[in-house]
């Protein structure tokens, strides 16, 4: 299985993470392309050295810079989705993402340095967001995050491109958004109102029965099925971030197709056609929105 996919895509949740987004300086595409080809080996050597704290990293290329770097393209790669409801989910494209994580902040930092250093002359930093596990894998709102994630081997089948796109087997479509929570407004709700907003209990993380779930509940709007009645799944690798002035969630999802994310986002924002949109969006707002593809390590090496 070596080199068939970037292990950071499907690895179990980490305690610490950094999302580093970059823009390529004009004219530096050839140099960046060559460096990207070398990064999988850097990651492999680093993860072997610090294996006791589970370091991982994903190198992903933005949808809107892809054609400037490579001659061939993943079959379904597209820009961050445009929705019927304007202004709610901004499209803020960047060129590159380094998604770096481990179970220790210092090790995450060292891996970030190792990956960024060779690129530093040729790129500008757009955002550098440090994240952490909060309590029992909860969002800053107090609710457990990632409850619906696939488990075991299902993580691979949900997140990784298969034979449907032979050149890009093992790659993954990645969507990244930074949400800023209005914690002052959130705190004015009663516990029951908060639980109704999510559609599950806070303390013991029990999802409401379908009949009891408000049509505006986050678990209702973000859990949808396709025409064949199958649930649209994502592998979420999200973590909270923030401090006393601002806090929120770095939402990161991996999937073998961008369609699942696009349809879930549409359900949340545009609703069900009867005015039922995701009530959670009254308490948080997206300030970034980006679409990427994370190729297999072997593909990066071969196309450098």
- Residue pair 93/79 in contact by the 8 Å Cβ criterion: yes
Q: Which residues contact 208 (CB under 8 A, 6 or more apart)?
A: 195, 199, 200, 201, 217, 219
**Mean per-residue pLDDT, 166-192:** 97
More confident residue, 297 or 274: 297
Q: Please state, for a pLDDT cut of 70, what percent of the chain lies above it.
A: 99
Which residue, among 178, 266, 273, has the nearest Cα to 222 in the 3D structure? 266
- Residue pair 264/270 in contact by the 8 Å Cβ criterion: no
Catalytically annotated residue among 16, 95, 139, 145: 145
Has residue 29 got a pLDDT over 80? yes
pLDDT at 224: 85
Q: Which residue's structure tokens are 């019927």? A: 84
More confident residue, 272 or 201: 201
Per-residue pLDDT tens for 206-244?
999 989 999 999 999 998 887 777 889 999 999 999 999
Q: Which residue's structure tokens are 């990651």? A: 43
pLDDT at 3: 62
Helical axes 105-116 vs 29-49, angle rounded to 10°: 150
**Mean per-residue pLDDT, 285-291:** 98
What's the predicted TM-score (pTM) here?
0.95
C-alpha span between 295 and 6 (Å, rounded) = 8
Q: Tally the residues of the chain.
A: 304
Active site residue 145: yes
**Mean per-residue pLDDT, 246-272:** 96
Phi, psi values for residue 57, rounded to 5°: -150, 145
Of 184-188, 225-229, 274-278, which range is least confident? 225-229
Residue 157: both structure tokens together: 């089948």
Has residue 269 got a pLDDT over 80? yes
C-alpha span between 125 and 116 (Å, rounded) = 10
Nearest-10 Cα torsion for 96, 102, 104, 110:
-40
The angle subtended at Cα 195 by Cα 189 and Cα 201, nearest 5°, is 140
Report CA 214 to chain centroid distance, whole Å.
26
Q: In this structure, is the dihedral angle defined by the CA atoms of residues 113, 242, 64 and 72, taken in order, positive or negative?
A: positive
In a 3-state reduction of DSSP, which class is residue 264? helix
H helices of the chain, in order, are: 29-49, 66-69, 105-116, 154-159, 183-187, 191-198, 218-221, 259-269, 297-302
Per-residue pLDDT tens for 40-95?
999 999 999 999 999 999 999 999 999 999 999 999 999 999 998 888 999 999 99
pLDDT, the chain, mean? 95
pLDDT at 2: 46
- Residue pair 273/224 in contact by the 8 Å Cβ criterion: no
Per-residue pLDDT tens for 119-164?
999 999 999 999 999 998 999 999 998 888 999 999 999 999 999 9
pLDDT at 1: 41
Residue 61: both structure tokens together: 């290329």
């Amino acid at each position: 299985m070596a080199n068939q996919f970037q292990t950071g895509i499907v690895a179990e949740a980490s305690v610490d993470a950094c999302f580093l987004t970059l823009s390529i300086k004009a004219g530096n595409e050839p140099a960046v392309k060559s460096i990207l080809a070398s990064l999988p080996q850097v990651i492999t050597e680093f993860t072997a050295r610090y294996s006791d704290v589970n370091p991982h990293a994903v190198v992903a290329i933005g949808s809107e810079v892809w054609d400037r770097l490579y001659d061939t393209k993943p079959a379904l790669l597209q820009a961050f989705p445009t929705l019927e409801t304007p202004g709610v989910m901004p499209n803020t494209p960047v060129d590159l993402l380094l998604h770096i994580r481990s179970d220790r902040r210092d090790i995450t930092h060292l891996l970030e340095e190792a990956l960024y250093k060779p690129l530093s002359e040729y790129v500008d930093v757009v955002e550098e967001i440090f994240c952490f596990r909060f309590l029992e894998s909860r969002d800053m709102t107090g609710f457990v995050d990632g409850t619906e994630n696939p488990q075991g081997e299902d993580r691979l089948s949900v997140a990784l491109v298969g034979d449907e796109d032979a050149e890009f087997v093992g790659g993954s479509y990645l969507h990244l958004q930074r949400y800023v929570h209005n914690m002052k407004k959130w705190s004015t709700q009663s516990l029951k109102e908060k639980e109704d907003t999510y559609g599950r209990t806070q303390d013991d993380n029990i999802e409401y029965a379908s009949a009891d779930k408000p049509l505006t509940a986050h678990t209702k709007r973000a859990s949808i099925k396709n025409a064949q009645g199958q649930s649209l799944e994502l592998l979420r690798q999200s973590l909270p971030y923030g401090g006393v002035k601002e806090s929120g969630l770095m939402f990161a999802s991996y999937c073998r197709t961008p369609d699942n994310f696009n349809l879930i986002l549409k359900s949340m924002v545009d609703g069900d056609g009867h005015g039922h949109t995701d009530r959670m969006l009254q308490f948080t707002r997206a300030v970034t929105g980006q679409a990427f593809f994370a190729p297999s390590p072997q593909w990066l090496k071969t196309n450098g």
